[in-house]
Amino acid sequence: MMNKIEKKLEEFISGELSEDDAKQIREELQKNPKLTKEKELRELIDNVIKEDKEVIDFRINLAKLSRESKKQKMSLPMKRKWYIAAASITVALASGASAFLILNNQSRPEDIFKVYYQTPKPIKIVRSGANFPGDTFNRDMQIYSDGNYDEASRRLIKYSSNPAARFYAAISYMEIGQYNNAESILSFIASNPSDLFYDQAQWYLGLCYLMNNKKQEAIDVFSRIAHSQNLYNDKAAQILSKLQ
């Protein structure tokens, strides 16, 4: 369960604390840099993301994953865990049973790709930040949301210091069949464990390898995912069973 200070922090951010408890949290924030960073991240999430039901459910699942990974000393960076949840980078998971039925006699890379590939939902930034230039980024993400992936790829690739733009540029390339371009970007993201989109990049990189006929590279990536606390570990294990 969430410890007392984390619970109070959530209530502090939402304005639900009594004055005495709020004072206690303010004092704790002054002497606890880690708690301060977490507060800033959670406030950013609340201001940045449209909190629909799907996001809330996903954040609950992420919290469970976080607690499990801490027990195994394999915790993902807090910043990345919360951002992943908040960014609503969710994939409509095909059920394991139906995936296996579909793939029972179809283990060709392109068939595996068709079953497991889902276009990530876009994020929306509602206030500017150092790496998220506000309305301009929102407009370009709207182009992605509208399904104009060719134009989206050209626009999003221009944000060289924006981790979200890099990721969605790669996805845009995948959507228009430019898997080599997508692979290059995703390889860069997946080489940096501190990147906000590290987990997603590994997963989509593996799918790119499938479409680029790089079976062994795909096996290597999906094997790492399957044996980690990556959000896609179960699906990666399913794919491995068809590739090996």
User: Using H for helix, E for strand and C for coil, what is the string for the chain?
Assistant: CCCHHHHHHHHHHCCCCCHHHHHHHHHHHHHCHHHHHHHHHHHHHHHHCCCCHHHHHHHHHHHHHHHHHHHCCCCCCHHHHHHHHHCCCCCCCCCHHHHHHHHCCCCCHHHHHHHHCCCCCCCCCCCCCCCCCHHHHHHHHHHHHCCCHHHHHHHHCCCCCCHHHHHHHHHHHHHCCCHHHHHHHHHHHHCCCCCCCHHHHHHHHHHHHHHCCCHHHHHHHHHHHHCCCCCCHHHHHHHHHHHC
For residue 156, being part of any structural domain is answered with yes
For residue 206, being part of any structural domain is answered with yes
- Find the mean pLDDT for residues 10-36: 82
pLDDT of residue 233: 93
- Find the mean pLDDT for residues 214-231: 95
Is the domain of 190 the same as that of 147?
yes
Which domain, by its residues, includes 61? 4-86
Is the domain of 10 the same as that of 49?
yes
For residue 91, being part of any structural domain is answered with no
CATH label of the domain that carries residue 181: 1.25.40.10
Is the domain of 137 the same as that of 71?
no
- The per-residue pLDDT for range 66-114, each reduced to its tens digit, is 556 555 544 445 445 444 444 444 444 434 444 444 444 447 899 999 9
Look at residues 86, 108, 127 and tell me which one is the last residue of a structural domain. Answer: 86
- Maximal CA-CA distance, the chain: 64
- Find the mean pLDDT for residues 121-143: 69
Is the domain of 72 the same as that of 102?
no
Is the domain of 172 the same as that of 202?
yes
Which position has the token pair 């970007």? Answer: 185
Which has the closest alpha carbon to 134: 126, 142, 145, 146?
Answer: 126
pLDDT band at 65 (very low <50, low <70, confident <90, very high): low
Look at residues 66, 86, 106 and tell me which one is the last residue of a structural domain. Answer: 86
Is the domain of 185 the same as that of 208?
yes
C-alpha to C-alpha distance for 181 and 178, rounded to whole angstroms = 6
Look at residues 30, 62, 86 and tell me which one is the last residue of a structural domain. Answer: 86
Residue 223, pLDDT > 80, answer yes
Is the domain of 103 the same as that of 68?
no
The answer to whether the CB of 108 falls within 8 A of the CB of 218 is: no
Is the domain of 221 the same as that of 120?
yes
C-alpha to C-alpha distance for 187 and 195, rounded to whole angstroms = 12
For residue 191, being part of any structural domain is answered with yes
State the pTM of this model.
0.58
How many structural domains compose the chain?
Answer: 2
Is the domain of 128 the same as that of 28?
no
Is the domain of 47 the same as that of 105?
no
Rg (CA), the chain: 19
| The two structure tokens encoding residue 205 | 């990189």
Q: Is 29 exposed, middle or buried (0-12, 13-18, 19+ CB in 10 A)?
A: middle
pLDDT band at 203 (very low <50, low <70, confident <90, very high): very high
Is the domain of 119 the same as that of 164?
yes
Is the domain of 14 the same as that of 62?
yes
